[in-house]
Structure 1
Amino acid sequence: MVVESGGRHPLPDVRSQNLPDPPVEAVYAVRFAARDLWGAGDHWVVVDLWESYLEVDG
């Protein structure tokens, strides 16, 4: 579940290669239930993900 928009930032995969003009994409804070990730836990995990890393349902 997307919980917050984090603006637009250079894509780190390209930026880390020191290539000129890395693409800029929207970044989102995405929340996962720990149980869905590791099969246990009653807490949430929130990570920042670039738009191209996300898959849209539907």
Structure 2
Amino acid sequence: MSIRFLIDEDCPLSLETLLNSKGHDTIHVKTSRLSGTKDPELKEKVERKKEKICIDYSVT
């Protein structure tokens, strides 16, 4: 089962590579056009699409 992930920029880029190597559809904020996007906006984007899980290292 493939899961779609959006990884926030405070997580290492290697996480994108690792999850993609396991067969998941993963996008890192730094390798997309979303770099610099605030956490609430990323959360809204993920919730709106209902097709990705957001991984965020910050505890805010």
Q: State the TM-score, normalizing by the size of structure 2.
A: 0.22
Query: Which is bigger in relative contact order (C-alpha 8 A, separation at least 6)?
Result: 2
Q: Which has the higher helix share?
A: 2
When Rg is computed on C-alpha atoms for both structures, the one with the higher figure is: 1
Q: State the TM-score, normalizing by the size of structure 1.
A: 0.22
Q: Which has the higher strand share?
A: 1
